Amino acid sequence: MNQSKLHLHFLRFALDTEYSLPALDKLDWNGLYEFANRHSILGILYQGLERLPKDSIYRPSRQLIFKWVAAVDQIKRANIQVNQDACRLTEVFKQDGIQSCILKGQANARLYPTPLYRMPGDIDVWTDMKSAKDIVRYVKQKDIMSSPEYHHIDWPSFGRTPIEVHYFPSFMGNLYHEIQLRRYFEQQKSKQFENFVELPNTSGQGIYVLNADMDSVFQLSHIMHHFFFEGIGLRQIIDYYYLLRYGIAPKDRENIAKTIKKLHLLKFSKGIMWLMHEVLGLDKQYLYTEPDENIGQLLLVEILYAGNFGHFDSRYHFAGLPLYKQYLLEIKRNLRFSRYFPSEVLWGRPIARFWHSAYKYYLRRSV
């Protein structure tokens, strides 16, 4: 068995307390650490280390254990900071008469058995402000250095954690499909600022989160966007695992499947469902569509190559390239997926890139 398979077996062991202990005699522990680091899941695999038999002769070296413990301690402290910043951001919006909800991030961490073990990132927030212009004006009043992007504006001066204030939660490469997705978000918007949850280490403070059915659609579209844009790692896949496992009621799955199909996400979702069941071991009762092995295998290969947001993909180097070369390299990369996703790859993203640039230019000049 190669090391990639052993790494995935250990990941499944870390996620599922009923999964049998994988063969440890052939496991490269340093390689496992690097695998976890590439996918920003050091805390998740640490759950597996905690469950290792105390009398096992196949354990990481003392030096590696200390290194891992130090990394997890950093993750915990970072989570506490992000939790506090997310609560403070929620309160700032509330004081200004604005409703808000947190997208993914700390909203996902609350579904983890040990929330502080999830590697945190920035804070993505969606509000009830009416338009992108309103959002840009609001943030620029708070921070003149803020910079509008296609679907969010950065708020760099808020605190220690980077903030992205979204005009809409996610987008797609195919503009026609994106219009339908954004229409769905608008239809669901009024119900997304009612679900309050407390966060750890915040003295009873908390955030608002998406309801489960919209969250399942949003996070799937987010994974799909990043898969085609730069690559996606296992952290986002594990987020979706916990959402399906603990966040969605059985009665909602049929409606989610209908929505996924209507929004042209069905084929991609079938690959994700295969990953959930075959790789992460999620029971089929938690899936909302039938898995597709061919698409799932395609996704798995890319995920293992790319790492977290494609940062470890040695096949493609976007950093430092002129924009037109990045554009051509992205098209070249995505052509490999055209058999299964022609509308996204062939007549979707190559055209959408021009619209994204034009809209960003419009926002930056008009506000």
Q: What is the pLDDT of residue 250?
A: 86
Contact present, 207 and 87 (Cβ < 8 Å): yes
Q: What is the pLDDT of residue 1?
A: 54
What is the Cα–Cα distance from 336 to 340, expressed in whole angstroms? 9
The domain 85-175+194-209 is placed in CATH, from the list 1.10.3470, 1.10.1200, 3.30.460, 3.30.1330, at 3.30.460
Q: Which is nearest to 295 in space by CA: 265, 333, 330, 261?
A: 265
What is the Cα–Cα distance from 52 to 50, expressed in whole angstroms? 6
Q: Which is nearest to 107 in space by CA: 203, 224, 218, 199?
A: 199
Q: What is the pLDDT of residue 320?
A: 73
Q: What is the pLDDT of residue 97?
A: 98
Q: What is the pLDDT of residue 318?
A: 67
pTM of the model: 0.94
How many Å separate Cα 250 from the centre of its chain?
23
Q: What is the pLDDT of residue 159?
A: 85
Q: What is the pLDDT of residue 311?
A: 66
Q: What is the pLDDT of residue 60?
A: 92
**pLDDT averages per 10-residue partition of the chain, 367 residues:** 88 93 90 96 96 86 96 98 97 98 96 96 97 97 93 92 97 95 97 95 93 96 92 94 92 93 97 98 96 97 81 69 78 86 87 92 89
H-helix segments, the chain:
3-15, 29-38, 42-50, 62-95, 106-109, 132-142, 175-188, 212-229, 234-242, 253-262, 266-274, 293-306, 323-334, 342-345, 349-366
